[in-house]
Each structure stands twice: as C-alpha cells, then as structure tokens.
Amino acid sequence: MDDAQLQELKQRAPGLAAIYHTGRETITHAADLAALEQARVQVLGRKSALTEFLRSIPGLPAEERPLVGRGGNVIRKELEELVEAREAELKRAALSDSLAHERIDVTLPGQSFPAGHEHLISRTMREVEDIFIGLGYQIAEGPEVELDYYNFTALNTPPSHPARSAHDTFWVVEQRETMPEAVVDADRGVLLRTHTSPVQVRVMEQQRPPVYILSPGKVYRRDSDATHTPMFHQAEGLVVDEGVTLADLKGTVAHFTREFFGPDRDIRVRPHFFPFTEPSIEVDVSCELCGGKGCRSCKYSGWLEIMGAGMVDPAVYSFVDYDPEKVSGFAFGMGVERMAMLKHGIPDLRLFYDNDVRFLRQF
C-alpha cells in the first residue's frame, strides 16, 4: 500500500488503518520464528482485530462497504505477505547464525564401531582348505548325523572295535534298538560321526577316480578335558588315482605343513594303525618353541603330532567298487583345533568355546 492509499484509508476507515499499523509493528518486531508464529495468530488469527473488523463489514452502511471491504482484504493480504517475508528473513538469519557458530572439525577421528570377525577355528579351517584348493583338491562335505555303515563298517572297522562302543560314540539310534540280534551288523545304527572319514566313502560312492578331496567339518566323541571337547573339527583328505604312493602322501603333507606353519618346519612319520588305511602313519611336525631340541610343550621329544594318515586299505575299495589293481590312494585326517593350538601357542582347547571375546579378538 502506498502512502496516498494509506492516507485515504486513514481518513475513511481510521480503525482499519490502526489495525494495519499495529499489525505491521507486531510482525516486524517478532524476534524469532516462535515469536513470529505468535504474532501471526495475534494479527491474522480468528480472534484478531482484523478478522473481527472484516466480520463487521456486512453491518456497515451500503455506501461504505465496497471501500472498506476492499481495504480490509488488501490489508490482510499485505500482512500475510509481511509474515512470509519476516519468516524468510528469520530463517536466513538462523542459518547464517548456525553456519557461523556450529562448526565441525572434519579432522576429528570418526566414531568406530566394533566389527566382529571369524572365529579362529573357522579361520584355521579356511586356511587349511585354501592350501589344498591350491593343490587342485575339491571341498566335499558330509552329514554330521551319520550311518554306522559310513562311519564304521565301510571303513573296515569291525564290530569289536572300541570306537563302536557306546562309551566313545554318541548314538542317535543304536543298532540294538532297531535290529534283531541276528542282524546286528546290518549297519543301521545312526550316530554323530566320530570322524570325517565317512565322507571318503560317500565321495567314492558318487565319483570314479581320480579323486582329490578335502572334507572339513564337525565331529563328535564322548570326551571332555583340557585337550578334548565332545565336539571338535577335522579336515580329511582323500586322494585316489593311478600310481599314488606313500611318497606322494609324505610330499603332500610336507607341503601342507610348510604352507600352514612356515617354511622351516620339518615333518616326520611314525607307523600307526587305522582300520581303513594300510600302512597307517601318524605325522609329527617339528616343535617351533625349541626348534626340535625338546621342551615342555613337545614333551621333550622335539615333535608335535598333527595328523593320522595312510594308504587307503584295499578293503575300503571293495565297498565302493574301486579296483585296487588299477588305483591306489592315501587319506589323512587332522584336528583343526589342534592345528590352531599348535600354530598360535594356545594351551587349552576349551578356550575356543568359552566365547570370551578377550581371547577371541586376539586372532
């Protein structure tokens, strides 16, 4: 509204001019957004003098109504625009104020969130797998709840073998429960596998030679002390091909040991017995602590046992229809917890399963 218009309004409708003046004052003096909202309600709200004035127009003499009505609407629109303008102004001021005062130091270190990582046993398992994958082996897995047939019978393990006793094995369904006495050897027992060796048989049933597999997984035995837990992990290797000899087994294990423990480690093999390998051996790795001279951790022998192994017994081939005249092979099985303990100098197997993060996060 320009001055001339305002002058005219003052003369013809002094009440309205006064409303306009106070409205302007109230709005322009609002110091922040909250005050401005209050001012808006006060000047333009339903109970404001302006609204009341506009409501009274129909009661005015007919000749006054057009001018006062138009004037009222012009004033309302102007005051509304004034509120908007003031609002924009206050927002701009608030923004430049916060830009001036709220600084962030982008060089401060960020907030760090603790990230978990693989359990040492999983990592060790993966390291073992990687080494054999590097040699062209395939990973093969088998069930943890296993048939007696695969865990024992087809591995040339006779019914009299001590591992078959309830004392050493977790039976899910004992043979005796399902089978009459006369057919107790019919291999129907169901158990938690005591080793990963049953995977050997399962793989050979499915596949003709050549076979190069590594089978990692959980196994179960009724044991519990500082060096035995009822559940632990093994990694099982099986190779069957033409012309495979014990020298190949030794070479493979030596390569694995040096990859896993480091290049200066030696291995030695000792004769042993397993029902499903012939000849059977146990493999030791030289003790790192004493460099082979003998210390407490290697029981003064200079050597630490790492796995059982041997040449696949021809009796096993007869269960899977392989011809022992044409092929030969070797198998080995290692305890993954034991490998991790030897590699990292961990004294007690139970530390792996106590789930104390102070222990676990070291690896």
Binding residues for ligand PHE, per CB under 6 A? 195, 197, 236, 274, 277, 308-310, 331-333
Residue 256 or 332: which CB sits closer to ligand PHE?
A: 332
Residue 26 or 197: which CB sits closer to ligand PHE?
A: 197
Length of the chain (residues): 363
Task: Please report, to the nearest 10 degrees, the dihedral formed by the alpha carbons of residues 111, 112, 113, 118 taken in order.
Answer: 170
Task: State in angstroms the smallest separation of the CB of 235 from ligand PHE.
Answer: 10
Selection from 125, 105, 89, 118 nearest residue 234 by Cα: 125
Residue 152 or 352: which CB sits closer to ligand PHE?
A: 152
Residues with Cβ within 8 Å of 212's Cβ and at least 6 positions away in sequence, in order, are 135, 136, 137, 138, 238, 239, 241
Task: State in angstroms the smallest separation of the CB of 356 from ligand PHE.
Answer: 28
Residue 216 or 308: which CB sits closer to ligand PHE?
A: 308
Task: State in angstroms the smallest separation of the CB of 180 from ligand PHE.
Answer: 30
Backbone angles phi, psi at 16, to 5 degrees: -65, -40
Task: State in angstroms the smallest separation of the CB of 295 from ligand PHE.
Answer: 26
Residue 72 or 308: which CB sits closer to ligand PHE?
A: 308
| Closest residue to ligand PHE using C-beta atoms | 333
Selection from 161, 327, 357 nearest residue 244 by Cα: 327
CA distance to 217, 240, 245, per residue, from 317 (Å): 23, 10, 16
Task: State in angstroms the smallest separation of the CB of 246 from ligand PHE.
Answer: 12
Residue 195 or 202: which CB sits closer to ligand PHE?
A: 195
Task: State in angstroms the smallest separation of the CB of 212 from ligand PHE.
Answer: 15
State the alpha helices, DSSP H only, in the chain.
3-12, 14-28, 33-44, 49-56, 65-101, 120-134, 148-151, 175-178, 198-206, 246-261, 314-320, 336-344, 351-354, 357-360
**What span, in angstroms and rounded, lies between the C-alpha atoms of 25 and 19?**
10
Residue 68 or 203: which CB sits closer to ligand PHE?
A: 203
- The single-letter code of the amino acid at 134 is G
Residue 72 or 237: which CB sits closer to ligand PHE?
A: 237
User: By CB neighbour count within 10 A (0-12 exposed, 13-18 middle, 19+ buried), where does 331 fall?
Assistant: buried
Task: State in angstroms the smallest separation of the CB of 328 from ligand PHE.
Answer: 14
147 membership: H or E segment, kind and range: strand 145-147
Task: State in angstroms the smallest separation of the CB of 176 from ligand PHE.
Answer: 24
SS3 of residue 77 by DSSP: helix
